[in-house]
Amino acid sequence: MNTHIQDVRVRYAPSPTGLQHVGGIRTALFNYLFARSKGGKFILRLEDTDRTRTDDSYVQNLYDTFDWLKFKWDEGPDCGGAFGSYVQSERSELYKKYAQELIEKEKAYYCFCSAQRIDEVRQQREAAHSSESGYDRFCRSIEPQEAAKKAAAGELCTIRLKIPLGENTVFYDHLLGEIEWKNDDVNPDPVLLKSDGFPTYHLANVVDDHLMEISHIMRAQEWLPSVPLHVIMYRAFGWTPPEFCHLPMVMGQDGKKLSKRHGATSIDEFRKQGYLPEALINYVALLGASYEEGKDIYTLEELTQRFSLEKLNKAPAVFDYKKLEWYNGQYIRMKTDEELASLCLPYAINAGLFGSEEPTAQQRDVFVAIMALVKERLTFLNEVPEKVAYLFREPEIPAAEEFIPKKCDLTKTIELLQIGKELAGSLAQTPDDEQAENFIKAEAQKREIKLGDLMMPLRVAITGSRVSPPLFGSLRILGAERSTDRIENALKNLRG
């Protein structure tokens, strides 16, 4: 890593043409961590030059996503900074000026080709099975003065970069090393300024990275093919390019680029499912970086302390949904009951758990108390309403078979539940699980019945299910009276 660079300035430069997804967040996070680790600045720039695909709702989604993730840029459209505007559509005049500068330096030229002509060239090539693609450089040979006259007269035109042919472009990438590209293989004279006066990605990106004094460009490897032509542009302007670091791609388990086919990819989806931002950040930070400490859990702060370009991997990162789930479970268990209850509350309200909108004070207390019971086995926040519903409304009494332990019959089950009923009051009053367990074990022993056989019908009567959060805790939360009532009802049903 270049240590002579004093002022590290990096950026996340999304185009607001879609929801924020894992890949974008990974790019943003790595830039953030790099800036923090170097005492530099992290910048947000909106690359909204594609006017047909840009949408305000995606800008809003970007802000919502980062509010939720709780890591932020130092300069950006919402918080300002000395290098604004940070929105490309507000910088149009600037790009025109710089495109003009390249024309004057004869590093770019006016192109008067219509879309129709370009299409005809494409069709002819297709018919001739030609491997050539891209612009045929038709207008490159027009005398600059003549072209300038035509443009000044208002003839519709674009401005194209004049790629110097017969040369190679060499640049260095921190992860991939030195890369050499034949200019003749670079996108043939790409458009910099469109006929409507809007810049293309290439022009706006290069001009802004320069003007915003970006020191390092860290982004996904899919942008690598653009680098040679960007470097050509930097040189055409007489500017020094920033340093490059292209991050490994994020793949699904099948080795194909991560997409919706593999599962959730937008941060919104993860959020709705009940992922915690800490889990997502922790997992995403390891997508393409290894810290080799035999440690999995890292806070944002710890990541900041450890991040360096040397820890990045070249190989593609594989997105493992199971591992992410594991992280989520870990972070859920780190929450206090109060914190977890607050996080789960919106899901519970949404599921109508409390009848009306907001829980009553008593319902809230129950909700907090139940967190201790479910926390250990929770993977997603959105599992909570279903898991704990039996504490807020009477569960449906399951069919008799559900109550019957292995090798028992209905008569025996009724007997067992009758005993359960006698014990429920005392169990509900035990202060903790250990005492409850000792108590019920002793009772089972005394009566010469298996503990499991005693617990099963009791569990089904109390929770409405064979699989449920811990029984003793549930009894305590419900209290002696409601517990006994539930058992009574179940017994009535079983007796038919």
| Contacts for 421 with CB less than 8 Å, ≥ 6 apart | 484, 487, 488, 491
State the minimum distance, in angstroms, from the CB of residue 287 to ligand GLU: 16
Tokens of 164: 């110097």
Q: Which of residues 34-53 bind ligand GLU (CB under 6 A)?
A: 47
Asked if 191 and 200 count as a contact pair (C-beta separation under 8 A), the reply is: yes
CB neighbours (10 Å) of residue 379?
15
CA distances from 484 to 242, 417, 421, 452, 491 (A): 72, 11, 6, 19, 10
Residue 187 binds ligand GLU (CB under 6 A)? no
For ligand GLU, the closer CB: 17 or 438: 17
Q: Which is nearer to ligand GLU, 36 or 219 (CB)?
A: 219
| 54 binding ligand GLU? (CB under 6 A) | no
**Smallest gap, in angstroms, from Cβ of residue 50 to ligand GLU?**
9
Residue 198 contacts ligand GLU per CB under 6 A: no
Question: What are residue 191's DSSP bridge partners?
Answer: 160
Among 97, 256, 260, 492, the one annotated catalytic: 260
Burial (CB < 10 A; 0-12, 13-18, 19+), residue 362, is exposed
The residue (of 219 and 421) whose beta carbon lies closer to ligand GLU is: 219
Near ligand GLU by CB under 6 A, which window of 9-17, 124-132, 247-255, 332-340?
A: 9-17
286 close to 37: Cβ distance less than 8 angstroms: no
Across 178-187, b (16+ Cβ under 10 Å) vs e yields: ebebebeebb
Closest approach of Cβ 63 to ligand GLU, in Å? 16
Task: Tell me the per-residue interface mask from 112 to 141 with ligand GLU, x by CB under 6 A, - otherwise.
Answer: ------------------------------
- Cis peptide, bond prior to residue 356, ω within 30 of zero: no
Identified binder of ligand GLU from the candidate list 8, 10, 13, 186, rule CB under 6 A: 13
Residue of 21, 107, 219, 375 interacting with ligand GLU (CB under 6 A): 219
58/33 Cα distance (integer angstroms): 24
Catalytic status, residue 260: yes
- φ, ψ of residue 179 in degrees (nearest 5): -125, 130
CB closer to ligand GLU out of 158 and 205: 205
Site for ligand GLU (CB under 6 A): which residue of 65, 205, 413, 474?
Answer: 205
Residues 401, 406, 408: CA angle, nearest 5 degrees: 75
Q: Which residue has the tokens 């005693």?
A: 454
Does 313 engage in binding with ligand GLU (CB under 6 A)? no
Stretch of 12-20, 278-286, 289-297, 347-355 lying at the interface with ligand GLU (CB under 6 A)? 12-20
At residue 315, the 3 state secondary structure works out as coil
CB of 289 to ligand GLU, least distance (A): 18
User: Residue 198 or residue 223: which is nearer to ligand GLU going by CB?
Assistant: 223
Q: For ligand GLU, which is the closer residue by CB, 13 or 231?
A: 13
Binding-site string for ligand GLU from residue 147 to residue 186, where x marks contact by CB under 6 A and - marks none: ----------------------------------------
| Dihedral sign (CA 371, 372, 375, 377) | negative
Residues sharing a CB contact under 8 Å with residue 12, sequence separation 6 or more, in sequence order: 24, 27, 28, 31, 32, 42, 43, 44, 45, 73
Q: Which residues bind ligand GLU (CB under 6 A)?
A: 13-15, 47, 205, 219, 223
Active site residues: 260
